[in-house]
């Protein structure tokens, strides 16, 4: 059995040189016929934080958690109403997202500190240090924005299920515009790249898009 395995490894080389899932081709069927470059993984060993940075981030998360709890308690303890106001729903969503993301990233930060995953002795104000600080701060408003987008998707699905029709003139259409605006902004880099590549191809070969006539 060992000789068979040895001969197979000699013929095919190391296992890590081959894709273990060759049937998976995520770039097939996309708008461009070029294989997209995979987004690089974040290497935790390259993330850097000073001791004061970590302390201030913990204080930031704790303040956000306490403030969200202080604001959420009267909203949740208020007498029951037949219908909730739209602003109250958005406020509850935003505060809940703030609390959840603060707990998650505070936990992520203290686990990194206990296991010494990050570089906690950076040499001055480096790009890695600034990027790591921005990463831990910007994830909070990102979580709030995503919670509002998910609420917009839920409202759209409810309206379509109840009314079986959709019109841009209805007040509920603002949720559709919210979702469209968020994803267009979030994916603007990919959209610009597509227009640059496919726009040039269309200008030079107007009868052919993405290799198809």
pLDDT, one tens digit per residue, over 115-135 is 999 999 888 899 999 999 999
Q: Measure the CA–CA gap between 49 and 133, rounded to whole angstroms.
A: 7
pLDDT, one tens digit per residue, over 21-63 is 444 444 444 444 454 454 556 688 889 999 999 999 999 999 9
The pLDDT assigned to 169 comes to: 53
The pLDDT assigned to 182 comes to: 72
146 pLDDT higher than 50: yes
If one compares 44 and 206, the residue with the highest pLDDT of the two is: 44
181 pLDDT higher than 60: yes
């Amino acid at each position: 059995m060992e000789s068979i395995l040895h001969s197979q490894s000699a013929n095919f080389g190391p296992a890590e040189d081959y894709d273990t899932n060759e049937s998976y081709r995520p770039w097939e069927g996309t708008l461009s016929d070029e294989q997209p470059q995979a987004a690089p993984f974040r290497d935790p060993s390259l993330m850097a934080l000073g001791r004061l940075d970590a302390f201030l981030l913990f204080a930031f998360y704790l303040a956000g958690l306490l403030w969200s709890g202080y604001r959420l308690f009267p909203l949740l303890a208020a007498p029951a109403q037949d219908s909730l106001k739209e602003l109250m729903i958005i406020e509850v969503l935003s505060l809940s997202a703030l609390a959840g993301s603060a707990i998650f990233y505070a936990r992520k930060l203290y686990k990194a500190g206990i296991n010494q995953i990050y570089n906690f002795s950076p040499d001055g104000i480096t790009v890695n240090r600034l990027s790591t600080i921005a990463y831990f701060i910007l994830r909070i408003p990102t979580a709030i924005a995503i919670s509002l987008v998910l609420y917009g998707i839920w409202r759209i699905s409810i309206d379509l299920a109840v009314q079986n029709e959709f019109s841009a003139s209805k007040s509920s259409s603002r949720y559709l515009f919210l979702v469209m605006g968020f994803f267009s902004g979030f994916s603007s880099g990919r959209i610009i790249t597509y227009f640059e590549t496919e726009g040039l191809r269309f200008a030079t070969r107007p009868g052919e898009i993405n290799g198809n006539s």
